[in-house]
Amino acid sequence: MNINQIIKKATLSFYINFLREIEDYSKKPIEIQSKVLNNLVKCGRETFYGKKHHFEQINSYKDFQNNVPIVRYNDIVEYINRIRKGENYILWNQKVKWFAKSSGTSSDKSKFIPITPDSLYINHFGGMKRMIVNYAANNPKTKIFTTKALTLGGSVQADTISSTTKSYCGDLSAVMLYNSPFYAELIRTPKKSTALTAEFDKKVELICNESTKQDVSNFSGVPSWNLILLNKILEYTKKDNINEIWPNLELFMHGGTSFNQYRELYKKIIPSDGMHYIENYNASEGYFAFQNQEDHRDMLLTLNNGVFYEFVPFKNLEEAMSGNNSNVTNLEGVKPNIDYAIIISTCGGLWRYLIEDLVRFTSINPYKIIITGRTKMYINAFGEELMTDNAEKALLNASMKMGVNIVEFTVAPQFMEIEDGGGIKKGRHIWAIEFKNQEFQKGSPAYDQKKLEDFSILLDKELANINSDYEAKRKNDFTMQSLKIEPLKEGAFLKWMKSRGKVGGQNKVPRLWQDMTYIEQLIDINRSL
């Protein structure tokens, strides 16, 4: 028996408990979550935060709500900075030396999320293990335990907040990679030092040199950055598709952004009927859900990995933030088809923390969700209430109908203006879209202005079909003009993200923005290409 077979046997034996646990998610979810809350509060009693909020008085979920306020990052940044400077047991009863550095998608300000030993091993690694064992159970002939996992990774660096402390920060993927067990190196490519290379272009070059010689069966991460990597690998090897390089490639575990717009692009370069795509919800703040059935796009909420969940309907969010808990509920009170903001308490020391994501339950037996947007990433400039989910669905529908491939996009409102003659120029949405198709790229010999106009009209109609508020504001151009598309050349978004210092890792393109700042930056970059 070789080393890979030993790893496979040991791994499957260890994972059998996870399979039983996943089955319990539908049998006793409230009981599981109640135990999680009790354990969190017990650990929290030993912390500065727990003492401040009288955790010793908490004996029920109601007590928890009454004693602990709902917070955003800015509300607890002072506590996090104390931890970064070397103070112990501020938010959690363990010493912390790792922080996941993240700007999120709605702010340029960096966030430093504490990664405790418990959150790293129980939550993040635990969540990945649950997803992998579920995949293996659904695909008994999988080769992922006897081949290599391709790792794009991120980067880590010493935290500079204090010269006397020894703490580190970086992308969550890099923090996990740095702390991964030794045996993971046996089934991963490239070597750890390569995957942790800070400079993205250099990292990609090294991966091309190291990993194309390996037998790769799976990879994971944000779709956009991995798509760039795979295309660079095709250029490096001069092959027509990825299966010519890695015939055993079978699995992409993706997250961070919706996969809908990337699906056809991946199918084009990985033309294999045996390829599987699984979404997981692994944020810097915690691992929350994974797609447990490939024929269903929703994700199973993980209930026993150190996270206690609460939910508040998006329409009631601000009153909840002001201290009104009347519409805040644990799992027991959620209903399908409502957009909820998620509030989490975790073994990373986040207490009733609003993570700014919106989810919708597709099922409550078991509890399964889809991500519908961000609490701050929506456009309501004209009463249209456009959510990220609306924009992505409309773009996907229009793309499929016209056979168009989209690389990246972002949307912003162009507000009403008073014209020179005194009239009002109605506002509209501007879509900056990077197309894969040559006929949509200005400057290309194949560019077709008429096709772009047809696509714009179709996209506008799809938005109206999906969003009744958008439809009402667009009716007879009463409040809004039809949307306008700014077509971008290939590579525009990558160059833009590089200019913002947001390349690789978990950095994501903001889908919706409240003003034209990003669109204008993209247009300027597009001119230089």
Q: In the predicted model, what is the mean pLDDT of residues 343-357?
A: 96
Q: Say whether both 178 and 275 belong to one domain.
A: yes
d(CA 524, CA 417): 22
Is the model's pLDDT at 495 over the cut of 60? yes
Task: Give the model's pLDDT for residue 478.
Answer: 67
Q: Say whether both 130 and 276 belong to one domain.
A: yes
pLDDT in tens, 9-61: 656 566 777 788 888 888 999 999 999 999 999 999 999 999 999 999 999 99
Does residue 453 contact residue 493 with C-beta atoms inside 8 Å? no
Is the model's pLDDT at 106 over the cut of 50? no
Q: Say whether both 389 and 512 belong to one domain.
A: yes
Does residue 253 contact residue 278 with C-beta atoms inside 8 Å? yes
pLDDT in tens, 161-215: 877 878 899 889 999 999 988 878 889 999 999 999 988 889 999 999 999 999 9
The verdict on residue 24 lying in a domain is no
Q: Say whether both 129 and 258 belong to one domain.
A: yes
Q: Say whether both 277 and 418 belong to one domain.
A: no
**Which residue among 263, 290, 317 closes a domain?**
290
Q: In the predicted model, what is the mean pLDDT of residues 305-326?
A: 96
The verdict on residue 18 lying in a domain is no
- The H or E element that residue 397 is part of is helix 388-402
Q: Say whether both 264 and 413 belong to one domain.
A: no
User: How many C-beta atoms lie closer than 10 Å to residue 331's C-beta?
Assistant: 19
The verdict on residue 366 lying in a domain is no
User: Mapping DSSP to helix (H, G, I), strand (E, B) and coil, where does residue 364 land?
Assistant: strand
The verdict on residue 56 lying in a domain is no
Task: Give the model's pLDDT for residue 108.
Answer: 40
Q: Say whether both 285 and 420 belong to one domain.
A: no
Written as six digits, the tokens of 416 are 């009403």
Task: Give the model's pLDDT for residue 5.
Answer: 59
CATH assignment of the domain containing 413: 3.30.300.30
The verdict on residue 509 lying in a domain is yes
Task: Give the model's pLDDT for residue 107.
Answer: 42
Task: Read off the DSSP letter of residue 124.
Answer: I
Average pLDDT, the chain: 90
Q: In the predicted model, what is the mean pLDDT of residues 408-419?
A: 84
Q: In the predicted model, what is the mean pLDDT of residues 65-91?
A: 96
User: Mapping DSSP to helix (H, G, I), strand (E, B) and coil, where does residue 83 land?
Assistant: helix
Written as six digits, the tokens of 215 are 């037998």
Is the model's pLDDT at 486 over the cut of 80? yes
Strands of the sheet containing 339-346, edge to edge, are 188-189, 148-150, 216-221, 251-254, 276-283, 286-290, 299-301, 367-374, 353-364, 339-346, 307-313
The verdict on residue 230 lying in a domain is yes
Task: Give the model's pLDDT for residue 24.
Answer: 84
Q: How many domains does the chain have?
A: 2
Q: Using 50, 70 and 90 to split pLDDT, how confident is the model at 105?
A: very low
**Which residue among 241, 272, 290 closes a domain?**
290
Q: Say whether both 286 and 414 belong to one domain.
A: no
Q: What is the largest CA-CA distance in the chain?
A: 83
Q: In the predicted model, what is the mean pLDDT of residues 345-358?
A: 96
Q: In 406-415, which positions are buried (b, 16+ CB within 10 angstroms) versus exposed (e)?
A: bbbbbbbbbe
The verdict on residue 105 lying in a domain is no
Task: Give the model's pLDDT for residue 377.
Answer: 75
Task: Give the model's pLDDT for residue 131.
Answer: 94
Task: Give the model's pLDDT for residue 22.
Answer: 85
More confident position, 300 or 472: 300
The verdict on residue 355 lying in a domain is no
Q: Say whether both 266 and 398 belong to one domain.
A: no
Q: In the predicted model, what is the mean pLDDT of residues 405-421?
A: 83
Q: Domain range holding 170?
A: 119-290
Is the model's pLDDT at 469 over the cut of 60? yes
**Which residue among 261, 290, 319 closes a domain?**
290
d(CA 405, CA 439): 11
Does residue 114 contact residue 96 with C-beta atoms inside 8 Å? yes
Distance of CA 402 to the CA centre of its chain: 28
